[in-house]
Amino acid sequence: MKSTPLHAWADTAASAEITEIGGRRVVAFRVAGGKHHGAIGINGSATVERAVRLAGELQVPLVGELDTSGAELRDGVAALHAWGRLARELVQVSGVVPTLLAVTGACVSGPALALGLFDHVVMTEDAFAYVTGPDSVEEFTGVRVSRAELGGAAIHAQRTGVASLVVSDDLAARDALEALLWYLPDHHLDDPPRLATDDDRERSCDLAAGVVPRRSTASYDVRVVVEDVLDTDSFLELRPRYAPNLVTGYGSLGGCAVGIIANQPMQRAGTLDIEASRKAARFVSTCDAFNLPIITFVDTPGFEPGRDLEWRGMIRHGAELVHAYAAATVPRLCVVLRKAYGGAYIVMDSRGIGNDLCIAWPSAEIAVMGAAGAVAILNKGRSDPGLVAEYRESFENPYRAAERGLVDAVVDPARTRHILVDALDVLAQKRDAHPARRHSNTPL
């Protein structure tokens, strides 16, 4: 397919076209170069606006590349309004078509805010993005910071979560955008992509079954479980350094694109904190917007305690995750691997907030809290090994939850893949039956 240029002005740093990436038709735009390092004004913004609008009209993904010094100063305040109009167009197609962006250099001032409006942002290692630059920070706070320290790719990978992926260079960024497109449909009314795989649907997950330690306090890498359950070599982890106590990413299961969320016992014991809750909530919302089934792997001892977390709004941000899961209408499958305690268990797509299938491994510990803590409370602070063992037997095993209908089945871990593939087949025709409304009031 030939690329079809969209209208652009020769004196701007913006260009756009209808083209193909990895065999998929997309509307692509680029803001870079020019006399003022990608500065974009009225004309350039109109080009990008047109690209965004056309992606929505054609119902195809929007893919962009930014290396911009901000608004074109020669256009004055009109350039700022141009970016405002562009933001409005991005909001209009949000959740309608996938929006992907590569930042390959600078992205500063007002345009930097646009990064938060894209579904996924890929940054090169030398890229940087910030709303207010180092000079303004020093003038206001007296602290001198470099561009990299303020908004380098490493900062957005680890601390802000803006970057879904960080890659080495421009070429790798384009490859990353193509990889993301593999898992996403053209638009919100389309089915998830079917990905070619020769992996046996009924393959035994022996590696996954063997990696989870019997001792509940021992750590392990949950990604080993995820990768063994999914189709071979299909897992693409997103935001790996941001809130690493929770793993998110795309993969395929039986050839169907899916979204993965999993507690990571290797980091902070797999507890949920503010950043992990926000990371998961955003990812759930993205999967729900584009019809990707969600598979959740649970192994968490609870929410991370701490005065700082509570003061920063653990209640509100934890509610974001509850809201995202409860509002999601795509097929939702939950696998309880080991610990599933308290409120953190509930918000990790438990039966109570509406999953479609919940299975547990025999090693699962599903309870209000751990046995030792529960006994200490019930026994007025005194520890009693006998009572701890009795509590575990009575309340902490998955069979009690299954008896109450809170778990559909306690399964052989090696059969996890087979069970989930069959469940996806059954749920393939699931449709949203909720009455139409403008929108819910998300606890942002």
Say if CB 35 and CB 70 are below 8 A apart.
no
> How confident is residue 381, by pLDDT bands cut at 50, 70 and 90?
low
Range of lowest pLDDT (81-90, 116-125, 191-200): 81-90
In tens, the pLDDT along 151-190 reads 999 999 999 999 999 999 999 999 999 999 999 999 999 9
- Helix-helix angle 42-58:77-93, to 10 degrees: 10
In tens, the pLDDT along 271-295 reads 999 999 999 999 999 999 999 999 9
Q: Looking at residues 192-217, what average pLDDT do you find?
A: 93
β partners of residue 339: 365
Instruction: Tell me which residue of 444, 441, 443, 439 sits closest to 95, measured CA to CA.
Output: 439
**How deeply is 393 buried, as exposed, middle or buried, from its count of CB atoms within 10 A (0-12, 13-18, 19+)?**
exposed
> How confident is residue 76, by pLDDT bands cut at 50, 70 and 90?
low
- E-state strands within 48-159: 62-68, 99-108, 120-124, 128-130
Identify the pLDDT of residue 397.
81
Identify the pLDDT of residue 371.
65
**How deeply is 171 buried, as exposed, middle or buried, from its count of CB atoms within 10 A (0-12, 13-18, 19+)?**
exposed
Cα gap 15→30, rounded to integer Å: 5
DSSP secondary structure string for all residues of 381-436: T---HHHHHHHHHHHSSHHHHHHTTSSSEE--GGGHHHHHHHHHHHHTT----PPP
> How confident is residue 11, by pLDDT bands cut at 50, 70 and 90?
very low
> Looking at the chain, which residues constitute the CATH 3.90.226.10 domain(s)?
4-183, 206-364+407-427
Which pTM was predicted? 0.93
CA 171, distance to chain mean position in Å, is 23
Cα gap 286→194, rounded to integer Å: 18
> How confident is residue 9, by pLDDT bands cut at 50, 70 and 90?
very low
- 22 residue type, one letter: G
In tens, the pLDDT along 293-312 reads 999 999 999 999 999 999 99
Q: Is the pLDDT score of 43 beyond 50?
A: yes
Instruction: Tell me which residue of 336, 333, 334, 331 sits closest to 399, measured CA to CA.
Output: 336
> How confident is residue 10, by pLDDT bands cut at 50, 70 and 90?
very low
Instruction: Tell me which residue of 10, 152, 149, 129 sits closest to 70, measured CA to CA.
Output: 129
Q: Is the pLDDT score of 351 beyond 80?
A: yes
- Secondary structure element (H or E) that encloses residue 208, with its range: helix 206-211
> How confident is residue 194, by pLDDT bands cut at 50, 70 and 90?
very high
Q: Is the pLDDT score of 437 beyond 70?
A: no
**How deeply is 129 buried, as exposed, middle or buried, from its count of CB atoms within 10 A (0-12, 13-18, 19+)?**
buried
Cα gap 424→415, rounded to integer Å: 15
Identify the pLDDT of residue 155.
97
Identify the pLDDT of residue 2.
58
In tens, the pLDDT along 320-334 reads 999 999 999 999 999
Identify the pLDDT of residue 212.
96
Range of lowest pLDDT (48-52, 105-109, 235-239): 105-109
Structure-token pair, residue 271: 């507890």
**How deeply is 298 buried, as exposed, middle or buried, from its count of CB atoms within 10 A (0-12, 13-18, 19+)?**
buried
CA 384, distance to chain mean position in Å, is 42
Identify the pLDDT of residue 219.
95
Which fold, 206-364+407-427? 2-enoyl-CoA Hydratase; Chain A, domain 1 (3.90.226)
Identify the pLDDT of residue 429.
84
Q: Which comes out higher in pLDDT, residue 387 or 218?
A: 218
> How confident is residue 27, by pLDDT bands cut at 50, 70 and 90?
very high
> How confident is residue 246, by pLDDT bands cut at 50, 70 and 90?
very high
> How confident is residue 81, by pLDDT bands cut at 50, 70 and 90?
confident
Q: Compute the CA torsion angle 303, 305, 311, 317 (nearest 10 deg).
A: -10
In tens, the pLDDT along 99-155 reads 999 999 999 887 788 899 999 999 999 999 999 989 889 899 999 999 999 999 999
- 443 residue type, one letter: P
Average pLDDT over all residues of the chain? 89
Q: Is the pLDDT score of 342 beyond 90?
A: no
In tens, the pLDDT along 219-230 reads 999 999 999 999
Say if CB 416 and CB 359 are below 8 A apart.
yes
Please list, in sequence order, all residues whose beta carbon lies within 8 angstroms of the beta carbon of residue 59, skipping any fewer than 6 positions away: 96, 97, 186, 187, 189, 190
Q: Which residue has the tokens 């409860």?
A: 326
Class of domain 4-183: alpha beta
β partners of residue 262: 247, 297
